[in-house]
Amino acid sequence: MTILGRLARTPAHRATTAQLQSVYPAIARGDSVGRGVCIGRHVHGGFFTYDPWELYATGALTNPNMLILGQLGRGKSALQKCYVLRQLVFGRQALMLDPKGENRALCAAAGCTPIALRPDGDIRLNPLELGDADAGDAGSRLQERVRVLAALLGASLGRSLTSEDRLAIELAIDAASQWTRGQAPTLRAVVEAMLDPSEEAARAAWANVDQLAAGSRGVALELRRLVNGDLRGMFDGPTSDGIDLSAPVVSFDLSAVYGSSAQGILMACVDAWFRSVLVRRDNVKRIVVLDEAWALLRNLETARSLAASYKLARWSGVQYLAVLHRLTDIDAAGSAGSEQVSLAQGLLRDSGTVVVYGGQSAAEVAASRELLGLNDIEADLLPGLPKGRALWRLGDRSFLVDHLVGRDERAVIDSDAQMRLDSAVRT
C-alpha cells in the first residue's frame, strides 16, 4: 500500500479548538474575537474583528490600550489609519500626534483639517488648561498643572527635575493662577512669576525673593524657550478659538520640528493638552494615537506623565494607541533597571492589545520574546511575516491577521504619496 493509501486509512483525530490553540497558538478559537471593526482576514480562515471596549466589557481584555510594533514599510501606519477611519463609523473620536505630517488624507476623509503647530504659527495651545478637570478643588488643579509643567520641562531640559525645580514650578503656577482670575494660567505668566517671584512665594519657600529668583532661574529660562525662544508662538497664550474639539479627528501636525530636539517637547505639550479633552464625561469613546511614542519615553518626566495617562484610560473610556518601530526602544529609554525603563516596560503591561509586524532582526525577536512573553512558535513566526501580516496578542490569545485595505482607503493610508510627489517635482 502506498504512503498516501496508508494515510487515507489513518483514523481522524478529533480535538477542540481550545486544544488546537495550545498546539498552534495563532489559530482563532471557536469564540472568535467578538464585535468590532473589521481589521482583515485571519490566515486560517474567517474575518478578524476588533474593538477594545467590547472586549473589555466581556473580560477578554483587562485594559483597552494598544501597542503597534513594526519596521518601516511593514504596514503599521496603514493599520493605524484604517483602524481610526473605521472606528469613526461607530461614533468614536481620534486625537492624534502626527510627528511627520502624514494625516492630511485621513483628516480629509473625515471631513476635517489637521492642526499645524509651528513656531510663529496661527495656532496656540495652552497645556495648562484642564478642561472639565478645572472644576475640581484648587489643590488638585495646582498639582495637575505641576505634573504637566514638570513633563514639559523634563523634555526640554533632558533630565529629571530636582525638588528645588518642582517647588519653583508649584509656586509660580500658584501665583500665575491668582493673576488670571479664574482662567487657566499661561506659560508666559508662569515664566514671569519665576523670574520675578513675590514676597508671598518667597515666604512659602522659606527664602527671600533674591534666593527664590536665583533658584528658579534655570527652569524659568528653559521654559522661556516655549514663550520667546525657538518654539515661540505655539504655547505662549490661551488656546486658539479655531480648534474644533467636536471634529471626528483632531490631529496635530508637528512636522515643522520633526527630527529636531524639539519634537519630544511638542509631543509632550500636545499630549498634556489632550488630557483636557479626555476628562470630559460625554460618553464618547476616544482613541489617542501616539505615533513615534519613543519621543515621550526617552525622558523620565514625560514617561511618568504618559504612564499616568495610561492609568486613566479605563476611567475615561479612552484607548491609547502607541506606535513604535522596535521593542529595543523601550530598553534604550534609560539605563538597565532604571525607573525610566520600568515605566517604558509598563507601557507594554498596560497595553491589552499588542500588534507585532515582521522583518525583525534576531535581537528584536529576542526582545519580543522576553518583553511580550511570546512562546517559541510565536517568536519564530516574526522574521518571516510578509508585509501587511501581523501577530496580534489580545491578552493571552494570539492571532495571525492579514490587514485588508479597501479600494477607497488606499489614498488615506499612503504614507509614501508625498515622497513620490516630491520626487516627481524634482524630476
Q: For residue 401, is pLDDT > 60?
A: yes
Q: pTM, whole model, 2 decimals?
A: 0.82
Q: For residue 287, is pLDDT > 90?
A: yes
Task: Give pLDDT, residue 422.
Answer: 41
Task: Give pLDDT, residue 392.
Answer: 94
Task: Give pLDDT, residue 373.
Answer: 81
Q: Residue range 256-271: average pLDDT?
A: 82
Pick the more confident residue, 211 or 334: 211
pLDDT category at 391 given cuts 50, 70, 90 is very high
Q: Residue range 98-124: average pLDDT?
A: 91
CA–CA distance, 295 with 156 (Å, rounded to integer): 12
Q: For residue 21, is pLDDT > 60?
A: no
Identify which of 270, 12, 344, 319 has the alpha carbon closest to the alpha carbon of residue 118: 270
pLDDT category at 307 given cuts 50, 70, 90 is confident
Q: Above pLDDT 70, what percent of the chain?
A: 85
Average pLDDT of the chain? 82
| Phi (first) and psi of residue 112, to 5 degrees | -140, 180
Q: Residue range 117-141: average pLDDT?
A: 80
Task: Give pLDDT, residue 264.
Answer: 81
* pLDDT tens profile 159-168: 888 999 999 9
Q: Above pLDDT 90, what percent of the chain?
A: 33
* pLDDT tens profile 321-374: 998 887 776 666 566 667 767 877 777 788 889 999 987 778 888 888 887 888
